[in-house]
């Protein structure tokens, strides 16, 4: 298995997006087009959810080799609301465990007329590798690849920020916590860098920040006082213990004291700054209840936008995969 990011692999011969493996190489116009399409699926809280027909007759398989609640349900609802049949395979207990190769699983599902594979895996490279082996009309969607990439999360974060703060080009975005192990932070950075932003700050203890050759141009800050000063967006991240060497795991109480987003630390940011979190949250560690549930929190809106973004991506990719010739608006070749 190679570990290329899949930036070229995800395009068809006409240059359109056929898979979504990474946000690397996805243009500003393409991102804006997907966000615009996602907006058409957003409904105010309490209203019936948006539905569409673009996946009627299609089948979407969710293959999650890592635990997930929100992302898996979000993909499942997105596909169902567009009319698809959806199958969820709990891969933690199935094929790899039985020694069946992942590829056999893919071929088996393809023979059952699955059109879209949504994949999550702890190892890098699986989505791009699978995309080499699927039929031309099939799309592969990355729903979380190791610590590297989580493209639909990057898109939903960008959508949420744009909805609440408008143009991103001058915004100061502070991502606080375990950035080193976070695919969410990497994909948010890719989306926002492409859309344009003022400053991207990585805030946390040195051992939880990525090496300097990653997320180039992002400012590293060792304290909340430095990292949150004047920030428009504060994104808190979970300590991803499952990806850490034992020795790196900080003690939750001292971490909270130094890096927890509380009413007190949030006051360091711009008044009214948005608070974001991809979930799952560890309340009392990286974020306090009063902030997670407070007036500046955009967390529920992120979750709601997740379904809309996944509807947009599913509809768009399947349209391309079935009819690759005319590049649609916003696409590289168009």
Q: In the structure encoding, which two tokens stand for residue 204, read together?
A: 């946390």
Q: Which of positions 4-33 make contact with ligand NCD (CB under 6 A)?
A: none
With a CB cutoff of 8 Å and minimum separation 6, the contacts of 290 are: 262, 263
Nearer to ligand NCD, 61 or 299 (CB): 299
Provide, rounded to whole angstroms, the least separation between the CB of residue 250 and ligand NCD. 15
Distance (Å) of CA 213 to CA 113, 201, 220, 290:
42, 15, 12, 36
Q: Which of positions 221-240 make contact with ligand NCD (CB under 6 A)?
A: 238, 240
Q: Contact between 174 and ligand NCD (CB under 6 A)?
A: no
Residue with tokens 């398989």: 61
Provide, rounded to whole angstroms, the least separation between the CB of residue 144 and ligand NCD. 5
Q: Contact between 301 and ligand NCD (CB under 6 A)?
A: no
Beta-ladder partners of 283: 287
* Backbone region of residue 30 per phi and psi (left: phi > 0; alpha: psi in -120 to 50; beta: other values): alpha
Which of 25, 279, 284, 334 touches ligand NCD by CB under 6 A?
279
Provide, rounded to whole angstroms, the least separation between the CB of residue 254 and ligand NCD. 20
Nearer to ligand NCD, 110 or 301 (CB): 301
User: What span, in angstroms and rounded, lies between the C-alpha atoms of 153 and 259?
Assistant: 23
| Contacts with ligand NCD, 125-164, as mask; x by CB under 6 A | -------------------x-----x--x-----------
**Binding-site residue total for ligand NCD (CB under 6 A)?**
11
Q: Contact between 187 and ligand NCD (CB under 6 A)?
A: no
DSSP 314: H
Nearer to ligand NCD, 54 or 240 (CB): 240
Q: Contact between 184 and ligand NCD (CB under 6 A)?
A: yes
Residue 70 host element (H or E):
helix 70-81
Which of 136, 131, 129, 104 lies closest to 117 in space, CA to CA? 131
User: What span, in angstroms and rounded, lies between the C-alpha atoms of 319 and 17?
Assistant: 10
Q: How many CB atoms lie within 10 A of CB 175?
A: 29
Nearer to ligand NCD, 35 or 268 (CB): 35
Nearer to ligand NCD, 147 or 316 (CB): 147
Provide, rounded to whole angstroms, the least separation between the CB of residue 71 and ligand NCD. 4
Strands lying side by side in the sheet with 274-276: 219-221, 199-203, 172-176, 233-236, 274-276
CB 155 within 8 A of CB 185: no
Provide, rounded to whole angstroms, the least separation between the CB of residue 58 and ligand NCD. 23
Provide, rounded to whole angstroms, the least separation between the CB of residue 29 and ligand NCD. 26
Q: Contact between 70 and ligand NCD (CB under 6 A)?
A: yes
- Return residues touching ligand NCD (CB under 6 A): 70-71, 144, 150, 153, 183-184, 238, 240, 278-279
């Amino acid at each position: 298995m190679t570990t290329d990011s899949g930036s070229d692999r995800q395009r068809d011969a006409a240059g359109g997006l056929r898979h979504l493996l990474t946000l690397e190489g996805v243009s500003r116009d393409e991102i804006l087009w997907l966000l615009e399409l996602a907006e058409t699926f957003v409904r105010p809280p309490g209203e019936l959810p948006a539905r569409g027909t673009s996946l009627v007759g299609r089948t979407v398989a969710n293959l999650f080799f890592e635990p997930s609640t929100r992302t898996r349900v979000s993909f499942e609802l997105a596909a169902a609301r567009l009319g698809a049949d959806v199958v969820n395979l709990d891969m933690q207990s199935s094929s790899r465990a039985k020694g069946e190769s992942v590829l056999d699983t893919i071929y088996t599902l393809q023979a059952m007329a699955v059109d879209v594979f949504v994949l999550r895996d702890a190892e890098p490279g699986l989505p791009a590798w699978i995309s080499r082996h699927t039929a031309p009309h099939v799309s592969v969607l990355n729903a979380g690849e190791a610590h590297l990439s989580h493209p639909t999360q990057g898109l939903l974060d960008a959508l949420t920020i744009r909805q609440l703060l408008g143009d991103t080009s001058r915004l100061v975005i502070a991502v606080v916590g375990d950035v080193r192990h976070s695919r969410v932070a990497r994909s948010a950075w890719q989306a926002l860098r492409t859309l344009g932003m003022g400053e991207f700050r990585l805030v946390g203890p040195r051992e939880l920040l990525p090496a300097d050759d990653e997320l180039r141009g992002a400012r590293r800050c060792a304290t909340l006082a430095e990292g949150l000063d004047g920030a428009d967006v504060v994104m808190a991240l979970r300590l991803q213990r499952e990806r850490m060497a034992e020795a790196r795991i900080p003690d939750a109480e001292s971490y909270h004291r130094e890096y927890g987003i509380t009413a007190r630390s949030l006051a360091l940011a711009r008044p009214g700054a948005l608070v974001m979190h991809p979930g799952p949250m560890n309340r009392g560690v990286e974020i306090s209840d009063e902030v997670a549930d407070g007036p500046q929190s955009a967390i529920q809106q992120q979750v709601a936008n997740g379904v809309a973004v996944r509807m947009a991506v599913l509809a768009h990719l399947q349209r391309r995969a079935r009819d690759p010739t005319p590049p649609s608006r916003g696409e590289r070749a168009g």
